[in-house]
Amino acid sequence: MARGIGRTAFSAVLAAALLIPVAAPASASLPALTSGSLLTAGSPVTAGSQLTAGSQLTAGGTLVRGDAAAGWLARQLVDGERFEVVFDGVAYPDQGLTLDAVFAFAATKTSAAYAASAIDWIQDPAVLSGYIGSTDNGSGTEAYVGATAKLALAAEVTGHDPASFAGVDLTGRLSGLLTPSGRFSDRSAWGDFTNAFSQSFAILALRRTPGGVPGAAVAYLAGSRCADGGYPLLFEQSTCDSQADATAMAVQALLAAGDRAAARPGLAWLVAHQDTTGGYADGGVLNANSTGLAAQALQDGGRVLAAARARVFLRGLQQGCTAPAADRGALTFTPGAFDPSTATRATAQGVLGLAGVAYADLSTTGSGASAPVLACP
């Protein structure tokens, strides 16, 4: 088993994987979608296409792009159960990306056998404590909001009880990290690394529990909104800097909590900041990760045309039938040549946009066991 990575080193690697400063090549504007287009979230979407939600399966694979992407992602798992990150030549378990894959499988109702293996793997005590911190259900020195919340949500999505997951009460642990201000904060010798993602995942996870979401937590997230309607990644900064990824996460959490009024400005910000290609940028780079999350939020918030445009952009990043067979279905991080080093993370979050299923609605119930392949002539 790979050794657990230190939190500081792991954060640095994870940041590098998400925010690669690659210049995106110029691409053509998105063709206009006609008012007569029939669009379904799980279908392969093109401008002017008349699409229905009927079966997209063929004897040779699937025509549903999201399913093909999820199938490719499943086949990249190490030993069919996990992802790893390499740091200084050493492979460490990447629990966060593994859970992203579980969400992708749930969104497409595919690869259930792989999702089950991933959840079994993360319950190993060393893997679990290396991700969420101390697992003694007591006052351990390390307890991380983002990891705890994301794992609690994954447990719920896959039919497990987050209050008793591998002997850990993830729900109680998460509630214990709520501060009087309504912000969920890490308990760690490394400092507090909570942000819009961790707050949103906490709300999404607790929303499925009998106790529901504390109103203070929802109010804190809503109160972090910038003057332009978007949401910042980092809280309580001197300058409020709206970001597509953070806005998409906050919108989904607020919608799940029933606060549509607070979500509405974020949805408007996403619509206003969509590129003419349909994509979304982070750090000035149009990419699959930001676009996948934005498409998910837009679909959830009823902005179906903007969501469809985002899916068209994502399809343009997908490796099709002219690509090597081993790459078909994968998404590139940004327009351009296929880069295996960023494809797994790009595909994991891009699938969410292709499928158009919100975090609040994810479930592996009824999922097929296998990993689909893209149907090609």
Q: What is the pLDDT of residues 41-100, one digit of tens each?
A: 333 333 333 323 333 444 459 999 999 999 999 999 999 999 999 999 999 999 999 999
- What's the pLDDT at 326? 96
| Of 197, 111, 210, 223, the residue nearest 156 (C-alpha) | 210
Residues 64 and 374: beta-carbon distance below 8 Å: no
- What's the pLDDT at 263? 98
Residue 272 has pLDDT above 80, yes or no: yes
- What's the pLDDT at 68? 97
- Report the distance separating Cα 245 and Cα 243, nearest Å: 6
Q: In this structure, what token pair is assigned to residue 85?
A: 């990150």
**Could you tell me the CA-to-CA distances from 326 to 21, 54, 244, 320 in Å, in that order?**
26, 27, 31, 11
- Report the distance separating Cα 241 and Cα 64, nearest Å: 36
**φ and ψ at residue 164, rounded to 5 degrees:** -150, 70
- Report the distance separating Cα 159 and Cα 139, nearest Å: 27
Higher per-residue confidence, 12 vs 143: 143
- Report the distance separating Cα 60 and Cα 211, nearest Å: 46
Q: Quick one: what percent of the chain has pLDDT higher than 90?
A: 81
Is residue 93 helix, strand or coil? strand
As a whole number, mean pLDDT of residues 106-113 equals 98
- Local confidence band at 135 (pLDDT 50, 70, 90 cut-offs): confident
Q: Which domains does the chain have, with CATH numbers?
A: 56-361 (1.50.10.20)
Q: Which of 44-53, 187-196, 250-259 has the lowest mean pLDDT?
A: 44-53
- What's the pLDDT at 3? 36
Residue 343 has pLDDT above 70, yes or no: yes
Residue 184 burial (10 A CB sphere; 0-12, 13-18, 19+): buried
**φ and ψ at residue 298, rounded to 5 degrees:** -65, -45
> Using alpha carbons only, what angle is made at residue 307 by residues 302 and 311, rounded to the nearest 5 degrees?
155
Query: Beta strands 90-93 and 84-87: pairing type?
Result: antiparallel
- What's the pLDDT at 140? 64
Spell out the residues 6+ positions from residue 109 whose beta carbon is closer than 8 angstroms to its own: 364, 366, 367, 368
244-256 vs 260-272: helix axis angle to the nearest 10?
150
- What's the pLDDT at 167? 94
- Report the distance separating Cα 162 and Cα 322, nearest Å: 43
Maximum distance among all alpha carbons in the chain? Answer: 59
